Structure 1
């Protein structure tokens, strides 16, 4: 059940089927109901300064320094292409990173108390895989991180924390959590009742606003959208900036129907394609940025449920390749691959270009990025996609070798439903566990 969600955005996890919980507002004449004995007309006494959070703390005796926070901030900048954010957003992000580091300390401490030890060889292996994503050796990655204001220690500590927490959850929660047959049958019934209705798999970044600051919040939302369009990780931004409770799962609302959404979001979702980003959308209490992760009709056959056989031809770019050079190379690559006549000819063309080629069967079309889905849906067997890639990574094309189309509506997958319900239960119990750790911790801010 390993969940790598490192701030550098190299590996992201989205919880499946999360029930949407949107931020709500309370009018001036309404009093929220709580279990606390708080008077309606609260008056504060004394000086607030004693309770100001400062950028360092000890958590059950273990220190978090300002350097720790800044190195994690640097990882976020790396993940989001060094896009500049407004000072107020940077301040809020720094506070969130501080909170994340406190949680990480608590998670590692809890795992240690449970006699769970993480082999450093595993940490180093994962670090090497992350370095490879940047086409670097671990030593080169060390220098790269240092040049950006972070460090290998910051990345390895986060890897260590994630492994420790996952193993603790697997032992203490997942092993004792069950899903009943009745729960699965209830989900199946709801699906059958909703057959043919549109469902949307959405991501949301919610920012609260008041009449006084609405203009500034909208401007901040637009800057976040620009960062996302420049390649920023939606899940990373949601975790750091969203004020909805779904921030902890990267803003993932799961599969929802229009009737479960605020009207403005429902209206936007109806016209969105998979992979599309819209916003800021005005919602009760603020604005939202919406990502259409996927869409479908309940229990209805969809061409995007096709299973594909593909060959991928890839040409790596040398380190330091400029956008101009990448464009030139892409043009030559496109011209050469355009002449491919069927999958049988792909290997010869790849060899002539000095490119890599891999063959893959049983590829679910839904698992591919939205633009590629749209391209492949309209291609004939043996045709080749247009090139895609990035100057920092290289360029590829896909050759369509086979396509198995869905013949009828897919029946509910009972195992998939059970797994999703189990994951939801484990996630909720894990959140309660972490909440209890926070409540019992001794945290001294300095």
Structure 2
């Protein structure tokens, strides 16, 4: 069971304030970069920046226990180093208002990492396999992070040290992230399946929303289950919005604080259509202008912070493939004859199960002519057909439609969006897979937290 009173000891808060608030005015590494790096863990400048005040080891202040995780100790020094690492890599500045949020997020991250490594070492013992990343693998990841910032590993670690961050804190974070991702992907990755029906359903949903507003967004999701409830999630999100408004880089904040699968890409969610996200999020997006940051948006399991990069009327043109079954009826046909023709087509509609059997079923009805209308942009269709093409799902058949030539049943045999930014089959598959693997990981962590003995001091 978790004691959720993270960092409530006033003496401990005073110690951290003395150590951390001396660095309020100093630039941090994440603030010095113009664009987010390719790696998700940490960032560094291409040239040295003024350092934070040096962080003393335990002999400079009384080191004590910040938390116990199944009897595994997290010290106040561990927590202070993680708080510094979070500030340096996210650009969030320590103030009297933001310090509790920084402390809480740092402690939650350390607790999660301890739980992950404890679970992985248990699996290693039970199954006689190697999961936890080795020192060589951690160094290789550090090399990649440093290279993305035009530094060697030694230079990168030196920059962190100048900012008062222990390299061991970063190494622990990297080791836990790499190992946990390896375990989740290895255990569940091959079991998860993104079916063609899921991909087609997503394509159809995107096609149906092609005419709706489209938003290019970046997101931060604060998971209420992870932070200890909605009130804490709202408080944390409010503090993050204040820091973002003061200049903290959105991508760096997303990497450190967001629980969304997009965290690894700096919160970049790409283009989304109206209706794809929660109604509360849609309502907020409607009020934003490109370049604006939202206020915290509470949803069912957490709180969103959104940055609207751009907005457009639609993702592109909507292309449809249609077939029809028609009865010729010239203008001036009596209402009785038209009603009889309508009944005949409605009876035919019940026999059409898909586009593949439309022609065969139509051939059984005297006077009905069937044919493939081919592929066309919805915008180019006759007004009578346009509504059916936009609203019907693939495989559905319209009710009889009256035109000057007669009555028509129209079947939608295919839909696709054309235009820039439209995700293709593989992109949709990867997005759905990422959502599934993220959900598995979050549920796994929830179960570990619920079964653990976690005590904070």
1:205 to 1:134, Cα distance in 2 relative to 1, 3 A: closer
Compute the TM-score of the two structures, normalised by the length of structure 2.
0.52
Deviation at 1:111, TM superposition (A): 2.1
Give aligned pairs, total: 281
Q: Which region of structure 1 is more displaced relative to structure 2, 149-158 or 126-135?
A: 126-135
1:112 maps onto 2:154 in alignment: no
Alignment of 1:415 onto 2:426:
yes
Distance 1:224 1:412, change over 3 A: closer
- Does residue 67 (structure 1) correspond to residue 83 (structure 2)? The answer is no
* Cα distance in 2 for residues equivalent to 1:57 and 1:282: 31
The answer to whether structure 1 residue 433 and structure 2 residue 444 are counterparts is yes
- For 1:72-87, what aligned pairs fall within 5 Å after superposition? 72-81=82-91, 84-87=93-96
Q: Partners of 2:170 and 2:299 in 1: how far apart?
A: 38
Q: Secondary structure at the match of 1:175?
A: coil
Whether the aligned pair in 2 keeps the contact of 1:221 and 1:280 (CA below 8 Å) is yes
Deviation sequence 1:94-124 (CA, Å, 0-9, x none):
1111011111111122222232142321111
Tell me the CA shift for residue 166 of structure 1: 0.9
Q: Is 1:189 matched with 2:204?
A: yes
* Residue deviations 1:220-239 (CA, integer Å, cap 9, x gap): 7344311236x872414653
Cα deviation digits, residues 123-159 of structure 1 (max 9, x gap): 1122123233444433333333222221111111111
Q: Structure 1 residues 121 and 194, CA, compared in 2 at 3 Å: closer, same or farther? A: same
Partner residue in 2 for 1:142: 157
| Pair 1:233 & 2:291 matched | no
Which residue is 1:266 aligned to? 285
* 1:80–1:227 CA contact under 8 A, matched in 2: no
SS, match of residue 63 in structure 1: strand
Q: Secondary structure at the match of 2:214?
A: strand
Change in Cα spacing, 1:85 to 1:287, as seen in structure 2 (3 Å) is farther
- What's the counterpart of residue 97 of structure 2? 88
After superposition, give the CA deviation of every residue in 1:384-426 in whole Å (9 maximum; x if it has no partner): xxxxxxxxxxxxxxxxxxxxxxx95377622222222121111
CA contact (8 A) 1:55 1:98 kept: no
SS at match of 2:102: helix
List per-residue Cα deviations over 1:167-220 (Å, max 9, x = no partner): 101111111111222222211221221223222232345899x9xxx9999797
TM-aligned CA distance change 1:445 to 1:139, over 3 Å: same
Structure 1 unaligned segments of length 5 or more: list them.
Answer: 11-53, 240-244, 303-406
**What are the Cα deviations for residues 18-71 of structure 1, in whole angstroms up to 9, with x where unaligned?**
xxxxxxxxxxxxxxxxxxxxxxxxxxxxxxxxxxxx962232332211111111
Change (3 A) 1:248 1:89: farther
Partner of 2:171: 156
1:4/1:162 contact within 8 Å kept: no
After the TM superposition, which residues 36-435 of structure 1 pair with which residues of structure 2 at under 5 Å, given as runs? 56-81=66-91, 84-115=93-124, 116-204=131-219, 221-228=241-248, 233-236=252-255, 238-239=257-258, 246=260, 249=263, 255-259=271-275, 260=277, 261-262=279-280, 265-269=284-288, 271-272=289-290, 276-280=291-295, 289-293=305-309, 295=311, 299-300=315-316, 409=419, 413-435=424-446
Shift of 1:279: 4.5
Q: CA deviation at 1:432?
A: 0.6
Say whether the 8 Å CA contact 1:196–1:299 is kept in structure 2.
yes
Once residues 448 and 303 of structure 2 are traced to their aligned partners in structure 1, the CA distance between those partners, rounded to angstroms, is 32
SS in 2 for 1:56: strand
Shift of 1:298: 5.2
Partner of 2:366: none
Q: State which structure, 1 or 2, has the greater radius of gyration over its C-alpha atoms.
A: 2
Q: 8 Å contact 1:265–1:283 — kept in the other structure?
A: no
1:435 positional shift: 0.8
Q: Is the 8 A contact 2:284 2:294 kept in 1?
A: no
